[in-house]
Structures are given as C-alpha cells and as structure tokens.
Amino acid sequence: MFDIGIGEIMALAVIGLLIFGPDKLPKAAADGARFLKQIRGMAAGAKQDLADSAGLDLNEAMDTMKGLADLHPKRIATNMLKDDPAPAPPKPAANTPLFDPDAT
C-alpha cells in the first residue's frame, strides 16, 4: 500500500523518539494505532450504510469492477506482447478420423 523502506521507518522512529521521548513513545504508538482502527471502522460503516441506502450488493459490484480491470489498456497491451506462445490445440487420437464421414 505505502512504499516505505527501512530507512524511512528508522527516520520516523528517531523523530518519534525526539518528539515523544522514550517513556511516552509506546503509548503514543498505541494511541495512533487505535485511532487508525477507529477511522477504518467508521469508513467501513459509512461504506456499508451508503450501499444499503442505494440498494447495492457490494460483493457483486466488486466482482464487476475486478472483471473490468482486465480491460485496462496497459493490461491488454501486456497480454498481447507476452512472449509465451498460445497453447497448441490438442491433437486427435491416432485412430480418430480428422473429418466426420457422415457429414459429407
């Protein structure tokens, strides 16, 4: 989700130590995590309330959106330019005729 490396995490830890100090840093981190959990819960609740009031099935809508992701131009171009050859059609058995004699 976020592109944060180990260097950025260390810098944030040092800044946190300087701002809060070693005594209050664990409590501040726990409060921050609790706050993020509350925000995520409120966002999920609002999303569900909007879906309920609009009469939408969120699972069906998400499946449709995932299906539309295959139509993205970048993904189409990537699939077209792949080096993988298309799978060959299966060959008929040795005793099976290549045509239907009853059809002619």
Q: What is the pTM of this model?
A: 0.47
Average pLDDT, the chain: 82
d(CA 13, CA 23): 13
Residue type, 42: M
Per-residue pLDDT reduced to its tens digit, 71-87? 888 888 887 887 666 66
Q: How many Å apart are CA 4 and CA 11, to the nearest integer?
A: 11
pLDDT, tens digit, 9 for 90 and up, residues 7-38: 998 998 899 899 989 899 889 989 999 999 99
Examine the pLDDT at 88 and tell me if it is beyond 70. no
Give the integer Cα–Cα distance in Å for 65 and 63: 5
